[in-house]
Structure 1
Amino acid sequence: MKLLIDFFPIILFFAAFKLADIYVATGVAIVATIAQIAWLRHSTGKVEPMQWVSLGVIVLFGGATIVAQNETFIKWKPTVLYWLMAGALAAGQLFFKKNLLKSLMGSQLELPDAAWRVTNWSWIAFFGAMGVVNLWVAYNFDTNTWVNFKLFGGLGLMALFVIGQALYLGRYMKADEAPKP
């Protein structure tokens, strides 16, 4: 259910784009993200900071897309989010000497500090690269291709990266230790 809630706005964005156009899809994504945040707040009482950031970015860039009738703004939105996530992880590590991934997942996964550092820097590199790839697709292909990439390419690359991370982290899991729920 959580996965569906997480991907709710992008799935509706994709469907609205296929049925209408980029401007309708952008409006749908804004409304869907607001609904997502409202649902999370109502059902769990908690909204993650990155979800608030995502809401702000979609309202800002989506709103600019609709007001200016310029699809370039919405095409920048994924890159901005990716780079904000990379920046937050890097700033935590470099300036605050805090591994934010370990802070978020440390209660679920026991790893040596070196593995946490590698994992953190891997996510920073992945998010940075995804921002670049998004812009490359946005500026070198038509909007339909970009929308397809945003859903299928972005999620596919994320899935491959997560599998790679799982394989890397698997070497630190003890044979008799099951992951904590």
Structure 2
Amino acid sequence: MAEKNISQGLKLALDMGPILAFFVGYMLLRDRTFVIGGSEYSGFILVTAAFIPLLALSTLVLWRLTGTLSKMQIVTLVLVVVFGGMTVWLNDERFFKMKPTMIYTLFALVLGFGLLRGQSYMQSVMGEMLPMQPEGWMILTKRVTVFFVLLAVLNEVIWRTMSTDAWVNFKTFGLTIGLFAFFMLQGKLFQTYGIETDKPGE
């Protein structure tokens, strides 16, 4: 399927919609307990069960509209299905809380492996969207690798030492704001190593 362009607003809605829905669902059901099939389930478990197909649906819609999915989106969906499924099946919220740790650790390992080989895997994936000199890509990849490691450690600390409310807020807002702030802080790097491309018609 050929890649198609969609509005950034729609793409953002498909990316962030399931996360925001999870947050709203949790806030509504966090103090409730449900008995299903003779077993008690917390609101967190039920919201997790709903989040899995919702994320799968939004990912499917995004793929149908654009004709493509990034490796990060695919891996994220797989890990959500695996860890979310284990959370619901075993009625244990710890598995879902581990998911961000697994995601960021995995990507840090992949990027780190590329760096050991003298390559920037980020450049091979994002090079067309963000034209930049190879040296700039290597610097950015090193920074992103370290950042992912820090996020993985931070997620572990928060879910193991703080309340579920604190973790949900961190997952919904903290990670999103952190990623946005990190890339905003790379502005000087983009200016220094960015490559100007000719606009159509010039």
Using the size of structure 2 for normalisation, the TM-score is 0.80
1:161-176 map, 5 Å:
161-173=182-194
Tell me the residue number matched to 2:127.
106
**2:54 aligned with 1:32, yes or no?**
yes
Residue of structure 1 equivalent to 2:165: 144
Q: Closer, same or farther in 2 for the Cα pair 1:130/1:179, shift >3 Å?
A: farther
Q: Is the 8 A contact 1:109 1:180 kept in 2?
A: no
Q: Does 1:57 align with 2:79?
A: yes
**Deviation above 6 Å: which 4+ runs of structure 1?**
178-181
With 31-40 and 72-81 compared, the bigger mean Cα shift is at 31-40
Q: Match for residue 118 of structure 1?
A: 139
Deviates more, 1:105-114 or 1:144-153: 105-114
Report which of the two has the higher share of helix. 1
Q: State whether structure 2 residue 94 is matched by structure 1 residue 72.
A: yes
| Partner SS for 1:108 | coil
Query: How far does the alpha carbon of each residue in 1:147-180 deviate from its partner, in whole angstroms, 9 at most, with x for none?
Result: 0111111111111101111232223347xx4797
Q: Gaps spanning 5+ residues in structure 2: where?
A: 1-9, 30-42
| Distance in 1 between residues matched to 2:128 and 2:56, nearest whole Å | 30
Distance 1:29 1:119, change over 3 A: same
Residues 113 and 42 of structure 1, relative CA distance in 2, 3 Å threshold = closer
What secondary structure sits across from 2:128 in the alignment?
A: coil
Contact 1:12 1:28 in 2 (8 A): no
Structure 2 residue 17 is matched with structure 1 residue 8: yes
Compared CA separation, residues 90 and 43, structure 1 to 2 (3 A): same
Q: For residue 45 of structure 2, what is the aligned residue in structure 1?
A: 23
Percentage of pairs with the same residue: 32
Please give the alpha-carbon distance, in whole angstroms, between the structure 1 residues aligned to 2:63 and 2:161: 39
Amino acid of the residue matched to residue 15 of structure 1? V
Gaps in structure 1 of 5+ consecutive residues = none
Counterpart CA distance in 2 for 1:98 and 1:89 is 9
May I ask how many residue pairs the two structures share in their alignment?
178
1:154 counterpart = 2:175: yes
Q: Deviations over 1:100-158 (max 9, x none)?
A: 11112222333332221110010000111001001111011100111011111111111
1:44 equivalenced with 2:66 (yes/no): yes
Q: Is the 8 A contact 1:109 1:179 kept in 2?
A: no
Look at both structures and tell me which one has the larger radius of gyration over its CA atoms. Answer: 2
